[in-house]
Structure 1
């Protein structure tokens, strides 16, 4: 008697099916719909395999996050390097590049949204790893610019980065934020507003 298709799958193939199932569930239903039962049903495998191969849902989420971070890294790497002697210009390029990378990665946005409403060691690590993706890119691209002694550029950058990420999340979930519709015209207005805020950085 021939083995069932599930039994004939190799472990790597079954793992890939489970991770892909997790991505579909996360994109379609959000994090509340992600559990061992839905993963197994979506992947067409026994629930025991989710525990055996991933030690439960967290292991699958960890793998999904790794794939999302790899996509962000590739997106950032595709942006040509621009030589600049202006800290303001570099900040602008970095923020808009990160915004574009996030908007191109729905999985990253779903994971970010999850971390806003729940707290766990896993989600904190995912957040830290995502931040490291941007920090690595900036460290490799940043020109040798002197940070001015006055002001607090670190805090300013954190505030602007939080705003950019909120824009990406709002565009993904609602298409608008605080009365600003995030269509082509809205994005142009948001970019112009960012330029006005960036005057706090030295040119």
Structure 2
């Protein structure tokens, strides 16, 4: 099963307060490790206070990314976000029972580091580096459109988008909120939540296929 190395670091953590940002990141990483335990070959691990790394099943990596970004935005009231760099490639060690990604090596880690550095340099939030330049270019172009949409979301839209991603349907979200299906669907559509989720699900399928022999 194909995996991606996922690197991330916080944007503007000093302005938020380095210590508070580090504590919030640690909490969000802990939440993500619990929610996506079955998709993590090596759990997300915080390094240097405001950065993290893990090895994620390719078919779930964008849901992990979305969850982490949503929780950071919601819990910081829109003041904190993360950059993400994803890397395809070989991993030198066996992933069976891996608990610390910092002890693993291989081309996938080099690619993830390069992707995160490109995101930092280009002021992007999500970038991929892999062996197929066509897929890399297509994915990074699509990620740019996703970022354009979600940069316009308020923390409340992020909260609803995350819950929609968890429930995978509008009807139970409307029932949970106590409002009409039509009202919730209209908001999700107008804010681009439905389009973003469809794009990320489709991209995950492409990433999953890319790593298969």
Q: TM-score range by the shorter chain?
A: 0.3 to 0.5
Rg (Cα) greater in structure: 1
Higher strand share: 2
Q: TM-score, normalised by structure 2?
A: 0.37
Higher helix share: 1
Q: TM-score, normalised by structure 1?
A: 0.38
